[in-house]
Structures are given as structure tokens and as C-alpha cells.
């Protein structure tokens, strides 16, 4: 961009100097403190987020006091990410702790409206003390009745964000604190990356928690990145620093269309998408069904350039969810993880998979299911946790999804786990198995314990194991997918090395897939 | 560079399949844990030489415990 000559007219000089005031944020001292904390300023983050010279700031002249212009705690605008527009609200911690005042609210509202009308993604870079409790420009902390009453006319953000969901991609990145109301920004977003050790979120911060319920807890334990990415599941990805956070936002959005009416963008791919995968993929799955293996390694061999963008990698680890590409086409992957509890589907695994499927379906991203699942979790703990409603949520999401769906039975696929991992009844556009695949209502041992219970009870204790293993030897071959393939229930059994080729063709032939459903407002979601 | 090899799940160390001094590649199985009736391999996160085991066979481990050291 060419430098603008600011001196040709005093009015223009004044305009540019006003802009410069805003660009200074909280001033050198506050900026230094922000850097000392290992954090970037809002504007530095925006420089990394957008393609060079594409960011246009709206409301830069916004000031609480027009006679004494100053920077605001919110920077809003739009710019291009890999050539496509996205809107942003970046909280500037160097200005009054990034708190939200009246002007900030106006700006944030304006960019939200623009993003929604023009239908491009919306990104929040949160680093904020929350609503500004300040007598001059905030929402309260004053005996001025007008100020206190202001709050009654706020909250539009959360309603609007809810209504934006599924229309345009929403990213709620946490780069600093986000307590109280601001915590619902990530809560209502599709994707929530969190900077390690520096970001926090909670419906109330430590001081309010202490006041309300007497609990002594620091912000890290209450709502730190580790807690949310490993325990609560509210965070999607814990990242090392601000730059890494911005990078994952760019990577994430590269899989998405700008809105729900568009197809996800195909990335240029220089290799041959029909080429066979290297031989090692054929030896990853062990013969012994009790032996676990690395599903992540398997996924990386299937996707382009081994690039797998995983969502919630440290939460609900028995279910793997994330994005990859085949021949440049984006693909959402849902896979069981035998390394974690044998890949059993519990409440968190159900929740994680259901949400991911809704996300992909909303934005026309085809789904790949890699099934190696012993079934849903059973037992009194699982029932008390509500495994039925969580499991129902997963099944509901798979059934409802109209995007192209591809199922690969990698190894076992038992019980309702087979259904949820997009079994035949759930209309997969392709359902194939690898040679070690098994489809069954349950594993051989489970079946024997039921139908041979009487025989086992009557047999002497020392003979029981022998009886079970003898019967299992007879039953196991019947579970193999050869039977399902012979009856035409599945499309094929493939050589694992053919997996990319088969999926690439499926991605191509389903490009114009259309499904019509009974009209309804929406399902009654089991959640 | 020292690389920590961590247990991927809570369980018991069933078998240690490598020895100190062995050179391993990424994804090579170093030991096998037993958990939830499954055999869960602990793999090398990257290539290196095993310099230390932090556990013995039969020991119980918690997810994220360091079980071996590579160099």
C-alpha cells in the first residue's frame, strides 16, 4: 500500500492523528506490560491474523468522550484470511483491561451485523476483563441511575451469536481472561483455541466465586486452558502462545466455506490422489483384537501431507475428531481410539462426536467414520452420567447429517457403536471394511456369556475358559465382514492401501449430493 | 535432546519389549500396558535411544506418567 500524504489539508491531518491515537492502544507502558506477560497486543494479533494490508478497522474514531479522544478496549473490523473475508472483534487488554464499554459494544454490534449480512466468518480474540464497571463509560458501579439501568439493554451479542450459529463459522479464541458474560462468547462459538497458561474463562472469576459460594480457587484451576481443554471440554485446542493461536484459527478456517450456502474450499493438491497409500498402513492394525494401535498414525497416512487438524485432542480421548483433506477436498474425521479405553463410546466421546458432526454438517464438510468400537459404555456409572441421552445425541447427529458420509470398518464395529459410527442404516454414501473388520451385535465372548450361560454354569469351574475359547473360535469367523460383504450389506472389503483412492472417488461422486427431509423446525435434540 | 515417553492411559505395565540402549524409530513399541482388558502399546514419540525406564513390569501407571526416557 502506498503511504498516504497526511499533510495536504489540516482536516485530513486531524483525521489521521485521531486514528493514530486509537492505534496507540493503552500506550507504551501498558503495551510493555502486555509483552512482558508474553502476550501480543490486539493490533499485533490482527497483523498476524489477516493477509497483509487487508484489515479495515471500523469505529476507529469511537471514543467515550469525543472531546478527549482515546483508544477503546475493543478493536473491530474485517480483513482477508487466505484471500477470504472474515470479521473480527479483538479485545485490547492494554486499554482498561480490554473491558467492554458502550463504544466497544457499538463497534462489536456493527461488525457482527456486517458479518451476518455479508455472510462471512466471525472471530473473537478475547482478552478482556468483561463488562466495564466504571462510572463514566461502563455499565454500573455508579449511583447514576442511567448507568446502572444500561445493563437492561445489553445481551444482544449472545442472542445474535446463537442465531449466527451454523450460518457463518464462529471462532471464539481465548488469549487472555474471559470471565462472566464474555465467557459465553467462546461458549457459543464453533471453535475455541486457548493460549496455554495465559487464557482463562468462567461464568464468574475467583473474586465473585469467593463472594457467592465461599470457594477459594485461582483463575488457572477455575478456568485455565488446561482445565478447559482436558476436563470441561469447553476448549478445543491448547496452544503454546498468541502466534500459535492465530495460526490455528487460520488453519481451522481453511477447511470451512464462508457460510452455510457454500462448499468448503478445495485446496490445491499436487500429488496423485488415486495413488496407493504406503505399505505400512496395511500392518498397523494387529491381528490380536485385544491389542490397541495408533489410530492417529493411521489417520495421518490417509490424509493429504499427513496434515490432521485435531479438535479436542486432550478431552474425550477415546473419540478422535478433526479435519484433513484427500486430494485437496476437506473432510471431517470421526474415529474411535483403541488406545483410550479400547475406543469405547462414553458420555464425553458421544458429546464430542455429536458436536463435531453438527459442525461439519452445518458447513457442508463431508464426514469420514473410522470404526473400531467395542460399543457404548455400560454400567451404573455410565447410566448415572446419562449415557442414554448422550449416546442418543451422537446417534441423532449422525442420522440427521446430510453431508456425504463415508464409513470404514477398520476393525471391530459392535452393537450400537456400529450404528453411531454411521452403520449401514444411517445412509453412508460409502461403507467399506478393511479385511480385519468385524460387524456384530457384540464381541464373541459377550455372546457366549449370554447364549451359553446355562452350559457354562453347569460346567466345572476349570473347564469354563476352555469352553468359551472353543466356542469363540467357531463364532469369530462369522463376525468377519466377509459375511456382510457376501450378503451385500456393505459395499466392499478394501486393501487398506486403497483407502485414499476409494475416498477420493467418493468425495468426487458425492459433490452434488442432495437429501430431502420432512419439513420441521428442528429436531428435539437429546443433549 | 531428552525425550520423555509417557503412558497414554492408566493401567499396569504388562511387558517391556525394548531394552536400555536400544535404538527406536517413531511409533516403535517400547512397552505394553494392560488396561480395560486391552493391550495398549506405548510408542516412541520420535526416534532415539532408550536411556532409562522409569517403571518395571507389573507396575501401575497413571495416564501421562513418564515411563521411559529417550535421547
Secondary structure percentages of chain B, helix, strand, coil, to 5 = 0, 55, 45
Q: What are phi and psi of A199, to 5 degrees?
A: -115, 145
> Residue A318: which CATH number?
3.90.226.10
Structural domain that includes position A396: 279-437+480-509
On whether residue A519 sits in a domain, the answer given is no
On whether residue A260 sits in a domain, the answer given is no
Verify that A289 and A163 share a domain, yes or no: no
- The stretches in chain A having pLDDT less than 50 are none
pLDDT given for residue A2 in this prediction: 63
To the nearest 10°, the Cα dihedral for A296, A301, A303, A309? 30
On whether residue A527 sits in a domain, the answer given is no
On whether residue A265 sits in a domain, the answer given is no
On whether residue A264 sits in a domain, the answer given is no
Could you report the per-residue pLDDT of A101-135, keeping only the tens digit for each? 888 889 999 999 999 999 999 999 999 877 776 66
What's the CA gap between A115 and A121, in Å, rounded?
7
Contact flag B35-A293 (C-beta cutoff 8 Å): no
Of A288, A294, A341, the CB nearest to B36: A341
Averaged pLDDT score across all residues of chain B: 93
Verify that A293 and A415 share a domain, yes or no: yes
What's the CA gap between A441 and A369, in Å, rounded?
18
Long-range contacts of residues A20-24, Cβ cutoff 8 Å, at least 24 apart: A21/A69, A21/A70, A21/A71, A22/A57, A22/A60, A22/A61, A22/A62, A22/A69, A22/A70, A22/A71, A22/A72, A23/A60, A23/A71, A24/A71
Verify that A342 and A218 share a domain, yes or no: no
On whether residue A5 sits in a domain, the answer given is no
pLDDT given for residue A376 in this prediction: 94
Contact flag B9-A297 (C-beta cutoff 8 Å): no
Could you report the per-residue pLDDT of A135-173, keeping only the tens digit for each? 665 665 556 666 677 778 778 889 999 999 999 999 999
pLDDT band at residue B17 using 50, 70 and 90 as cut-offs: very high
Verify that A296 and A152 share a domain, yes or no: no
Q: Which SS3 state, helix, strand or coil, does residue A255 take?
A: coil
In a mutational test of the A interface, the residue from B39, B62, B63 whose CB has the highest number of chain A CBs within 10 Å is: B39
Verify that A167 and A284 share a domain, yes or no: no
Verify that A355 and A457 share a domain, yes or no: no
In a mutational test of the B interface, the residue from A295, A339, A372, A378 whose CB has the highest number of chain B CBs within 10 Å is: A339
Domain B3-70: which topology?
A: OB fold (Dihydrolipoamide Acetyltransferase, E2P) (2.40.50)
Q: What is the number of domains present in chain A? A: 3
Verify that A361 and A484 share a domain, yes or no: yes
Verify that A496 and A390 share a domain, yes or no: yes
Verify that A344 and A229 share a domain, yes or no: no
pLDDT given for residue A134 in this prediction: 66
Verify that A499 and A470 share a domain, yes or no: no
Verify that A391 and A432 share a domain, yes or no: yes
Verify that A422 and A449 share a domain, yes or no: no
Of B27, B38, B39, the CB nearest to A294: B27
Residues of chain B with Cβ-Cβ distance to A292 below 8 Å are 38-41
Amino acid at each position: 500500500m502506498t503511504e498516504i500524504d497526511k499533510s495536504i489539508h489540516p482536516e485530513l491531518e486531524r483525521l489521521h492523528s485521531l486514528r493514530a491515537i486509537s492505534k496507540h492502544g493503552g500506550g507504551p507502558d501498558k503495551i510493555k506490560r502486555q509483552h512482558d506477560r508474553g502476550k501480543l497486543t490486539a493490533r499485533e494479533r490482527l497483523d498476524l491474523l489477516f493477509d497483509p494490508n487487508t484489515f479495515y478497522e471500523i469505529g476507529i474514531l469511537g471514543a467515550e468522550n469525543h472531546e478527549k479522544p482515546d483508544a477503546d478496549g475493543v478493536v473491530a473490523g474485517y480483513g482477508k484470511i487466505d484471500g477470504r473475508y472474515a470479521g473480527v472483534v479483538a479485545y485490547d487488554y492494554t486499554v482498561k483491561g480490554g473491558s467492554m464499554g458502550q463504544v466497544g459494544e457499538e463497534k462489536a454490534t456493527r461488525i457482527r451485523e456486517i458479518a451476518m449480512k455479508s455472510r462471512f466468518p466471525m472471530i473473537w480474540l478475547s482478552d478482556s476483563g468483561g463488562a466495564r464497571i466504571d462510572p463514566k463509560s461502563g455499565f454500573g458501579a455508579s449511583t447514576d441511575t442511567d448507568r446502572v439501568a444500561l445493563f437492561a439493554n445489553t445481551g444482544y451479542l449472545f442472542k445474535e451469536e446463537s442465531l449466527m450459529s451454523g450460518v457463518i463459522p464462529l471462532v471464539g479464541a481465548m488469549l487472555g481472561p474471559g470471565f462472566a458474560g464474555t465467557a459465553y462468547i467462546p461458549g457459543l462459538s464453533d471453535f475455541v483455541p486457548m493460549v496455554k497458561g495465559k487464557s482463562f474463562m468462567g461464568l464468574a472469576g475467583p473474586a465473585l466465586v469467593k463472594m457467592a459460594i465461599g470457594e477459594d480457587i485461582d483463575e488457572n484451576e477455575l478456568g485455565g486452558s488446561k482445565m478447559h481443554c482436558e476436563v470441561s471440554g469447553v476448549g478445543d485446542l491448547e496452544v503454546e502462545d498468541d502466534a500459535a493461536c492465530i495460526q490455528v484459527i487460520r488453519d481451522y478456517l481453511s477447511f470451512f466455506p464462508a457460510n452455510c450456502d457454500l462448499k468448503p474450499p478445495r485446496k490445491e493438491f499436487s500429488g496423485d490422489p488415486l495413488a496407493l497409500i504406503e505399505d505400512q498402513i496395511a500392518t498397523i492394525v494387529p491381528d490380536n483384537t485385544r491389542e490397541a494401535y495408533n489410530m492417529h498414525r493411521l489417520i495421518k497416512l490417509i490424509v493429504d501431507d499427513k496434515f490432521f487438524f485435531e479438535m479436542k485432542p486432550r478431552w474425550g480421548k477415546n473419540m478422535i475428531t478433526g479435519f484433513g483433506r484427500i486430494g485437496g477436498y476437506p473432510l471431517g474425521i470421526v474415529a474411535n481410539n483403541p488406545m483410550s479405553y479400547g475406543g469405547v463410546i462414553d458420555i464425553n466421546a458421544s458429546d464430542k462426536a455429536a458436536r463435531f458432526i453438527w459442525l461439519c454438517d452445518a458447513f457442508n464438510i463431508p464426514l469420514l467414520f473410522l470404526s473400531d468400537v467395542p460399543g457404548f459404555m455400560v454400567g451404573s456409572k455410565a447410566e448415572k452420567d446419562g449415557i442414554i441421552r448422550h449416546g442418543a445425541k451422537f446417534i441423532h447427529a449422525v442420522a440427521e447429517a446430510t453431508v456425504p458420509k463415508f464409513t470404514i470398518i477398520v476393525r471391530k464395529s459392535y452393537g450400537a457403536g456400529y450404528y453411531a459410527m454411521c452403520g449401514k442404516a444411517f445412509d453412508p454414501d460409502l461403507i467399506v471394511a478393511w479385511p480385519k473388520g468385524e460387524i456384530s451385535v457384540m464381541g464373541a465372548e459377550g455372546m457366549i456369556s449370554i447364549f451359553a450361560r446355562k452350559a457354562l454354569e453347569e460346567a466345572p469351574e476349570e473347564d469354563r475358559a476352555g469352553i468359551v475359547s472353543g466356542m469363540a473360535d467357531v463364532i469369530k469367523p462369522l463376525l468377519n465382514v466377509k459375511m456382510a460383504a457376501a450378503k451385500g450389506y456393505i459395499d466392499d472389503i478394501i486393501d487398506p492401501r486403497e483407502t485414499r483412492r476409494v475416498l477420493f472417488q467418493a468425495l468426487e461422486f458425492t459433490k452434488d449430493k442432495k437429501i430431502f427431509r420432512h419439513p420441521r423446525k428442528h429436531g428435539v435434540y437429546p443433549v | 535432546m531428552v525425550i520423555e515417553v509417557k503412558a497414554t492411559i492408566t493401567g499396569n505395565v504388562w511387558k517391556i519389549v525394548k531394552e536400555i540402549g536400544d535404538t527406536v524409530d517413531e511409533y516403535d513399541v517400547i512397552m505394553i500396558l494392560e488396561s480395560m482388558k486391552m493391550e495398549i502399546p506405548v510408542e516412541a514419540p520420535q526416534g532415539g535411544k532408550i536411556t532409562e525406564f522409569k517403571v518395571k513390569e507389573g507396575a501401575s501407571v497413571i495416564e501421562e506418567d513418564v515411563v521411559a526416557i529417550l535421547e
